[in-house]
Amino acid sequence: MRAILGQLLTLLPHGPVALARVVDTTGPGPREPGAAMIVTESGDVHGSLSGGCVEAAVVASAREVLDGGDAVTDRFGYADSDGPAVGLTCGGEIEVFVERVSGERLPLLAALRQRIQEGSPVAVATTLDVAPEWKLLTPGDGEAWHGVDRDARALLDAGRCGVVGADECAAHGSPRPRTFVQVFAAPARMILAGANDFVRALSRTGRSLGYRVTVVDARETFATPARFPAAHEVVVDWPHRYLAEEQRSGRIDQRTVVCVLTHDAKFDVPALLTALSCPRIGFVGALGSRRTHAERVERLRAAGVTDDQLGRLRSPVGLDLDARTPDETAISIAAQILAERGGASGLPLDRTDGPIHR
């Protein structure tokens, strides 16, 4: 919707439009969730959903919605390019939500554009029912909304669009509406210092959780894209120098995760010193034994790290899962990151009470 937001704001003062958005995809597809198309009462079309595969069918649904019909959800799967069926020839499947949008949405859309122009993370949550409701979500807003606000903000924190809800809310004992969360923010970052098997495993886990993963190591022989295929980028540089430049450039924020997995004091101490000096960083962890941790803390203190900064360091990083292999260790570290991001205890659920999804 980002691409057609300006047109939406221009058109709405002159009358309602039909807004069609891709809300879910399966398999290969031409567009990601959030791709949008506008259909006006005069039949003008702005934007696209699939490069031409399903647009005609969506326009037909849009006209029905504009004529006073309820919001509709259309799902399109594979269709032979030579056959009569409407669908995708790429083999994937998309779900398209079509709703009538009127001028009452203008204040929210104007606020959305303002947030985007400021570079601030923001999301729009839309209930996928016959009378859709919208909610503008920001990181600092803790207002409850239909029991889906926590899950929706988790997507905002991760920088990913997605569908939440459609189940029972334990806190309220009522159904949660199926809700599309369209996020207008870059994905949260995971920066991994080192170039070993533990980094490779955590890069896979981090990517599966929606993080944009960067692997950084000064050793050109080891820091190669071929060795870390799950990473979005592999940087050959000293980790502390790379982190300092990212901080100066404003690319480290409260959602950024930094894990130092080098097992080498000449790499990890400068990297941790730099990471702990970043005022807005979200999570800083370091791998190692308790003996390694104790020695590392002494070096960090000698380098001028304060007690408050050391209090932000998670070392040895990870939860107590008896993890031994790189893949098990990656799960242990990811579990701690998720627990801290959500303010959770990390305890087994059968040893806690109250709602599972707080």
pLDDT on residue 120: 82
pLDDT on residue 51: 60
pLDDT on residue 21: 95
> What CA–CA distances, in Å, run from 216 to 189, 193, 228, 259, 277?
13, 5, 11, 11, 18
Q: For residues 187 and 229, give the distance between their C-alpha atoms in angstroms, rounded to a whole number.
A: 18
Q: How many CA atoms lie within 13 A of 107 on its CB side?
A: 3
pLDDT on residue 89: 46
Helix (H, G, I), strand (E, B) or coil at 169: strand
pLDDT on residue 30: 58
pLDDT on residue 87: 42
Q: Which of 155, 230, 152, 243 is nearest to 193 (CA)?
A: 243
Q: Is 36 exposed, middle or buried (0-12, 13-18, 19+ CB in 10 A)?
A: buried
Q: Which of 352, 20, 300, 21 is nearest to 182 (CA)?
A: 21
Stretches in the chain below the pLDDT threshold 70: 27-31, 50-53, 78-91, 167-174, 356-358
Long-range CB pairs of 293-297, under 8 A, 24+ apart, other chains included: 295/265, 296/265, 296/268, 296/269, 296/272
CB-based contacts of 260, cutoff 8 Å, min separation 6: 193, 194, 239, 267, 268, 271, 272, 275, 284, 285, 286, 287
- Tokens representing residue 29 in the block: 């597809």
